[in-house]
Amino acid sequence: MAETLKVAVIGAGPAGISAAARAAATGISHVLLESSPAHAQTIQRYQKGKHVMAEPGVLPLRSDVGFEAGTRENVLSAWQEALNASGVSVRYSAETISIEGQRPEFRIGLNDGSSVSAENVVLSIGVQGNPRKLGVPGEQTPWVQYTLDDPDEYQGESIVVIGAGDAAIENAVALCGHNTVYIVNRKDEFARAKDGNLAQITRAIEEDRIRCFYRSNAARIEETPAAERPARLVLNTDEGEASVPVNRVIARIGAIPQRRFVESCGVAYPSDKPTAIPQLSARYESNVPGLYIIGALGGYPLIKQAMNQGYEVVEYILGNDIGPADEPLLEKKFRGLSYGSVSESLAAMQKRIPLFGPLNALVFRELMLDSEVTTPAPGETVFMLNDYTDSFFTILDGTVLVGRGAAQDAALPLAAGQFFGEMSLISGRRRTATVVAGENCVLIESPRRTIKKLLASNDHARRTIDNAFMLRAIQSSFAPDVPAAELMDVVEAARLNEYKAGTVLFAEGDEADSLHLIRSGSVSVSRNIGGRDIVTAYVPAGKYVGEMGLIGNTRRTATVTATVKTATISLDSQSFNRLLDKAPTLRERMQRRIQQRIVENTQMEAQPESGDLISFLMQQGLGEATDVLLIDSSLCVGCDNCEKACAETHNGTSRLDREAGPTYAMVHVPTSCRHCEDPHCMTDCPPDAIHRNANGEVFIDDSCIGCENCMHNCPYGVIHMAVDDPVPPRFWQWLLFGAGRAPGMESLAKPDPSTPKKAVKCDMCKDLDGGPACVRACPTGAALRVSPEQFAGLVHGGGDF
Amino acid sequence: MHESILVYRRRRYLWAALGLAALSLLAYALHRTPEPPNGGTWLGYTLGTIGALLIVWLTVFGIRKRRYHSAAGKVEGWLSAHVYLGTALLVVASLHAGFQFGWNVHTLAYGLMCATIFSGFYGVYAYLHYPRLVSRNRGNLTLEQMLDNVATIDNQCLRIAKNAPDDIREVVTSAVNRTQVGGNTFQQLSGRDRSRVVLPSGDGSHRLRRNPDQERAIEWLAERLSRTSDGEVSATINELERLLASKKMMLKKVRADVRMQARLQFWLYLHIPLAVTLIAALLVHIVAVFLYW
């Protein structure tokens, strides 16, 4: 039997390379095992020339291997050189089949039947998994591949892409420009794809740029030496076998998940959810002593973090108590706090804040890296009612006062350990209260993205925040005078519901059994009058619907439909009656509100065209808008000064298309950003370049990498890719001598085709004095910007915008 | 739904313009001089200076409109003021001249000013009148889409006519080829349909006929239908008639759109050159007055 190594590193990605390099540098016996023939498989699979980022920028790199942002090729070759130079003992094409034992006696079984003994094992195999193979005759032939490096490498070929996920779609779409492309889908729709990719593949199939075999599977691949194409792929379809002559077959049928393998090594996962990550100590050790997990598999998908962990884990194995690389960052954040060292501070925070208590120490550390610790002076405003900020606050020390606008006397105090800001976090709408700091206040402010990630992966945190949200929503909407403790039974009976756009929450004539508080999204209320559905109201997040049925009648008097993806909290009639008993003024307030609704309804019924206008606006996605550009067609002379103003104030590219978009009742909705409350564009931005300002503007910052995700994700087509034109027109030269381009006219110079394009969209002219240039430049007053609160005024023909 | 330039900010510039006109009239009524009122009295100079400054300010609108970074008020406000104060200029300048006109450069400047202002009046009318009609006419289509629709119908007609008898194919092809939209400024403004079609006449020769709204072609096809007993041919003609009818509708919309767009725009091609000429004449007027004092 061979010697027992000090450490075996499995997986030669950034984390594994860094760990092995550290082991080599410290001179301990080690081996780096890689299942594929080359290092960093995940990055090898990126498309050619793809920019690899070095985020987070503030985190220092701690590794014997260098890394900086650059193209995929540069990054890969730098790592290869570092591997060669550092004397790492690496075995390629050595797939690990099993890991048995624990410190100091691990036995690692490999695919060639050999085994490796090691005292410690570092598992850094990422989450991509090994690509799933076709498993059909002919899969070993040279025409089958599982990755696509450079789509431009192939021209005029016949290519079949097998799979219906994002990778398959992206490959097929990238190839279809210069090749005959087929895509093979096992099912009859592309249900797993991201919205943007779904739209692309659907369009490509409709336009015949890609041919799709639905409900089909690969049967075999056969060589055809005599034919025009070197091989043919035989498919099993509903209509029997079909045969496609091919130059190559690209199988993108997913990867074999790592979890089963990891569990077979004895590692425990905290839950059955696919997003769950193994339970790890602060030193990356799993429940199996001596088995360490780092990198994406441990929940750290960023390259720099993974490399730092590789370095650290070897130091930990050697018994060196080095602090993590982010230590100085946290030290700086915690300066001024009196809890001691960084780890003591982190522990104290987890102890003081029940929401964070049960979190994995590493997850909490990560959260704190993204968060800020602030110490506002007593009386300082943390945020104002109607601000658009959406960060989440936890109180580490002292108190804050939560009030509504001017009535700060009636403000509700919150003490250390509690949290606030969850309303805007969840709904994406403006702040529903003003929060003012009290004595000795210390707050932790976490970005929305970080907390949403936490909510998605941690059940405890989600339940805690959901319950608080429900309690506060119910309290502020119905029973502001009733103490929270008395509302607990009502909250427990409340339910969270989610509806897709267009779903009916309840229909006219249904039995009225519950009331809905809208948590995110919005709904429209309609009534059937004379055989026609007439929309009578639009209700945004934060308001409630269905109270009429509960108080007065027992049947629904109107139909309520989700205009966009909507979440509500529903209270059944029993709970609501309990609320009525507890809050004596509630019944009276509800009756007043119902009266008001009836008056509004009759007004709307008297002018059905207003209802039609509401439905029209909802169809245009205004149900999720926070600020939208509308054009009064009865005043618009078509001069395009709005577009010219937009282009001139935004480096030569207009972010709005005036003429495109539908018109109804003289209201024209141009193609222009709606600044959605939960922006679709933000959902998948790798560099996190899309942000929302306190005033509500959704904008893209300079870190855009031009990946086009936001463009594909926007359902309203308002984002496009453009090159900045840095040359502003010279007004007087143009006016007096006709030199250069006219203000508002397109650039004369053709942009250099090698200049990378970046995503551009409306930023509501946040950096300009005087507000949006489109509105200011409209000579006839036809252009106006409207927020949802103003729809009613708009619809009734009056109002002052 | 929104306020137009005429009612912008509760008509503040209307009141300003009325105030300016009223003050000028009052001063003119109270002004007593030995000679008849003219530009050479102190009031004449004052009104002349106000008028000249107003003219300069009115032309600054063209600059403000293109200063897209400017935060100096909304362009709508500038246009509202431009319209009302420009109108008041009529009063100020007339009083400045003391209604003394002759065949000279001074009256030329006055005449150019009036022409500029009246072309502007037409502009105000067009801006307030046409957008609603344009929008109603277009529905949810852009001009480009409407033209695309016409092209699609044309292609359908040609495809169907390809297998039809020669005379039908020739008429349909010529109706398609000789359909006209747009043209020069006057043709656009008039909106008259100058489409033509070549029709066979009884003696075997062909005649070029006017084909407004495709009617001559439709009539000819109807007449051809009555002469045919072939079921396939009559089905083809029926289909062509249906297509031509929808083309006629679409062309009407296109023509109306072109006509109204032209009316919305052409006046600027008078207003701006007139204003530039006015500035030149104004300079000559001022220099002349001071040289020959």
- Predicted pLDDT of residue A586: 84
- Is A476 part of a structural domain of the chain? no
Distance set, CA B146 to CA A411, A637, B151, B177, B187 (Å): 60, 19, 9, 17, 19
Quick one: chain B helix, strand, coil %, rounded to 5? Answer: 75, 5, 25
**pLDDT band (50, 70, 90) for residue A90:** very high
Whether A574 maps to a domain, the answer reads yes
- Specify whether B29 is located in the same domain as B59: yes
Residue pair A366/A447 in contact (Cβ under 8 Å)? The answer is no
Highest averaged pLDDT of the listed ranges A515-519, A664-668, B42-46: B42-46
Mean pLDDT of chain A: 86
pLDDT value of residue A547: 84
- List all residues 6 or more positions away from A344 whose beta carbon is below 8 Å from its beta carbon: none
> In this complex, is the C-beta atom of A656 within 8 Å of any C-beta atom belonging to chain B?
no
Of A98-102, A325-329, A495-499, the range with the highest mean pLDDT is A98-102
* DSSP of B14-52: HHHHHHHHHHHHHHHHH---SSPS-TTSHHHHHHHHHHH
| pLDDT of residue A275 exceeding 80 | no
Q: A799 pLDDT exceeds 50?
A: no
Per-residue pLDDT tens digits for A732-754: 888 888 887 788 777 666 666 66
Residues of B in contact with A781 (CB under 8 A): 2-5, 8, 74, 76
In a domain, A136, yes or no: no
Q: Which residue has the tokens 């769950």?
A: A276
For residue A743, give the nearest of B8, B68, B139 by CB distance: B68
Q: Are residues A631 and A773 in the same domain?
A: yes
Looking only at the bridges linking them, the beta strands covering A559-562 and A504-506 are antiparallel
Q: Predicted confidence band at A800 (pLDDT cuts at 50, 70, 90)?
A: very low
Q: Which of A229, A254, A279 is the last residue of a domain?
A: A254
Please tell me the predicted confidence (pLDDT) of residue A705. Answer: 75
Residues A515 and A391 in one domain: no
Same domain, A660 and A630: yes
Residue B247 exposed, middle or buried by CB count within 10 Å (0-12, 13-18, 19+)? buried
Instruction: Indicate whether A227 and A312 sit together in one domain.
Output: no
Do A269 and A318 share a structural domain?
A: yes
* Binary contact (A649, B135; C-beta < 8 A): no
Model confidence at A506, pLDDT cuts 50, 70, 90, reads very high
Task: Clarify whether residues B251 and B275 are in a common domain.
Answer: no
Average pLDDT of span A482-507: 87
So what's the ipTM on this one? 0.93
- Please list every residue in chain A whose beta carbon sits closer than 8 Å to the beta carbon of residue B261: 638
Closest residue in A to B77 (Cα) is A779
- Is A474 a domain residue? no
A473 belongs to a structural domain: no
Nearest beta carbon to residue A649 from set B66, B68, B261: B68
Number of Cβ within 10 Å of residue A58's Cβ equals 10
| A236 domain residue, yes or no | yes
Query: Is the pLDDT at A779 greater than 90, yes or no?
Result: yes
Tokens linked to A420: 């606030």
- Min Cα–Cα distance to chain B from A780, Å: 5
Cβ <8 Å between B135 and A666? yes
What CATH number does the domain containing A224 carry?
3.50.50.60
Mind telling me how many Å the CA of B73 is from chain A's nearest CA?
7
Of B78, B127, B131, the CB nearest to A633: B131
| Residue B127 resides in a domain | yes
- Give the one of B1, B74, B127 whose C-beta lies nearest to A776's C-beta: B74
Q: Check CB contact of A669 with chain B, cutoff 8 Å.
A: no
DSSP A128: T
A641–B65 C-beta distance less than 8 A: yes
Interface test with B, best of A734, A741, A776, A801 (most B CBs within 10 A): A776
Closest CA to A435 of A455, A454, A411, A452: A411
To which residue do tokens 């503040």 refer? Answer: B12
Listed residues A300, A325, A350: the one ending a domain = A325
A199-222: average pLDDT = 88
- The verdict on a CB contact (< 8 Å) between B1 and A645 is no
Instruction: Identify all chain B residues contacting A668, using CB atoms and an 8 Å cutoff.
Output: 135
**What whole-number distance in Å separates Cα of residue A82 and Cα of residue A738?**
59
**Is the CB of A635 less than 8 angstroms away from the CB of B264?**
no
Same domain flag for B194 and B231: yes
How close does chain B come to A765, measured CA to CA in Å? 10
pLDDT digits (tens, 9 = 90+) for A117-168: 999 999 999 887 777 888 899 888 888 988 887 788 899 999 999 998 888 9
Same-domain status, A593 and A671: no
More confident residue, A181 or B37: A181
What are the tens digits of pLDDT across the range A425-446? Answer: 877 777 888 899 998 899 999 9
Contact B65 A794 (CB under 8 A): no
Closest among A445, A447, A421 to A432, alpha carbons compared: A421
Cβ–Cβ of A641/B63 closer than 8 Å? no
* Among chain A residues, CA nearest to B138: A663
Residues of B with CB under 8 A from a CB of A: 1-5, 8, 63, 65-71, 74-76, 78-79, 126-127, 130-132, 134-135, 138-140, 142, 261, 264
C-alpha angle B116/B121/B122, rounded to 5°?
100
Instruction: Kindly report the nearest CA distance between residue B20 and chain A, in angstroms.
Output: 24
| B2: in domain | no
Are residue B170 and residue B91 in the same domain, yes or no?
no
- Asked if B5 lies within 8 A of A634 by C-beta distance, the reply is no
- Answer whether A9's CB lies under 8 Å from A20's CB: yes
A188 φ, ψ (degrees, to nearest 5): -105, 15
The CB density around residue B250, as the number of other CB atoms within 10 Å, is 19
Q: Exposed, middle or buried, B102 (CB in 10 Å: 0-12/13-18/19+)?
A: exposed
B245 and B152 in a common domain: yes
* Best B135, B258, B265, B268 residue to mutate vs chain A (most A CBs within 10 Å): B135
With respect to residue A347, please indicate whether it lies within any of the assigned structural domains: no
Is A632 near chain B, with CB under 8 Å? Answer: yes
DSSP codes, A538-584 = EEETT-EE-HHHHHT-SB-SSEEEESSSEEEEEEEHHHHHHHHHH-T
User: Is the per-residue pLDDT at B293 higher than 70?
Assistant: no
Nearest to A648 among B68, B135, B139 (CB): B68
Of all residues in chain B, the one with the smallest CA distance to A744 is B66
- Whether residue B270 sits in one domain with residue B130: yes
Percent of chain A with pLDDT over 70: 95
Number of domains in chain A: 5
Instruction: Please tell me whether residues B28 and B125 are part of one structural domain.
Output: yes
Look at residues A321, A326, A331, A263 and name the one whose alpha carbon lies nearest to residue A297.
A263
DSSP letter (8 states) at residue A794: H
Q: What is the reported pLDDT for B244?
A: 94
Model confidence at A409, pLDDT cuts 50, 70, 90, reads low
- Which residues in chain A are contacts of B127 at CB distance < 8 A? 635, 637, 780
Q: Do A781 and B76 touch (CB under 8 A)?
A: yes
Q: Is A398 left (phi over 0), alpha (psi -120 to 50) or beta?
A: left
**A281 and A247, same structural domain?**
no
Assigned domain for A124 exists? yes
Q: Do A778 and B74 touch (CB under 8 A)?
A: yes
**Percent of chain B predicted with pLDDT > 70:** 99
Domain range for B36 is 8-134+266-291
Residue A746 CB coordination number (10 Å) = 12
A381: which 2 tokens?
């405003």
Distance CA B229, CA B225 (A): 8
| Domain assignment of residue A289, given as a range | 4-129+257-325
pLDDT at B202 over 80: no
In a shared domain, residues B128 and B14: yes
Residues A303 and A318 in one domain: yes
Query: Is the CB of B130 less than 8 angstroms away from the CB of A782?
Result: no
Q: Are residues A654 and A738 in the same domain?
A: yes
- Residues of chain B in contact with residue A780, where contact means CB-CB under 8 angstroms, are 4-5, 76, 79, 127, 131
- Chain A residues close to B2, C-beta within 8 Å: 632, 635, 781-782, 784, 801
Domain annotation covers residue B101: yes
Interface test with chain B among A616, A630, A637, A655, by most B beta carbons within 10 Å = A637
> What is the 8-class DSSP label of residue A511?
B
pLDDT for residue A682: 84
On whether both B124 and B237 belong to a single domain, the answer is no
Claim to verify: residue A204 and residue A263 sit in the same structural domain: no
Q: Is A162 helix (H, G, I), strand (E, B) or coil?
A: strand
DSSP characters over A399-446: -EEEE-TT-GGGPEEE-TT-EE-HHHHHH-S--SSEEEE-TT-EEEEE
Q: Indicate the angle between helix axes B268-291 and B42-64, nearest 10 degrees.
A: 140
> Distance (Å, rounded) from C-alpha A650 to C-alpha A653?
6
**Pair of tokens at residue A11:** 């997986």
Number of domains forming the structure of chain B: 2
Q: Establish, for the pair of chains A and B, how many residue pairs have beta carbons separated by less than 8 Å.
A: 98
Residue that is last in its domain, among A558, A582, A606: A606
Please give the Cα distance from A98 to A111 (Å, whole number): 9
Tokens representing A665 are 């009742």
| Half-sphere CA count of A1, side-chain side, radius 13 A | 10
pLDDT at A801 over 60: no
Does residue B3 sit within a domain?
no
Most confident of A46-55, A398-407, A639-648, B83-92: B83-92
Q: Using CA coordinates, name the residue in chain A closest to B82.
A: A779
Asked if residue B32 belongs to a domain, the reply is yes
Closest residue of A to B135, CA-based?
A633
Residue A106 pairs in a beta bridge with A101, A118
Cβ distance B140 to A644 less than 8 Å, yes or no, reads: no
Instruction: Give yes or no: residues A501 and A547 share one domain.
Output: yes
A743 close to B (CB below 8 A): yes
Cβ–Cβ < 8 Å for A288, A267: yes
Residue B211's identity, in one-letter code, is: N
Residues of A in contact with B78 (CB under 8 A): 779
Indicate if B19 and B100 belong to the same structural domain: yes
Section B26-52 average pLDDT = 91
Q: What is the distance in angstroms between the Cα of A651 and the nearest Cα belonging to chain B? A: 12
Q: Measured between CA atoms, how close is B138 to chain A, in angstroms?
A: 9
- Give the model's confidence band at A534: pLDDT under 50 very low, under 70 low, under 90 confident, else very high: confident
Query: Is A770 near chain B, with CB under 8 Å?
Result: yes
Is residue A310 located within the same domain as residue A233? Answer: no
Cβ–Cβ below 8 Å for A635 and B131: yes
Chain B CA closest to residue A792: B1
Q: How many residues does this entry show for chain B? A: 293
Are residues B192 and B177 part of one domain? yes
Q: pLDDT value at position A236?
A: 92
The count of other CB atoms within 10 Å of the CB of residue A369 is 17
Contact of A774 with chain B, judged by CB distance below 8 Å, is answered with no
Percent of all residues in chain A with a pLDDT value above 90, rounded to a whole number: 35
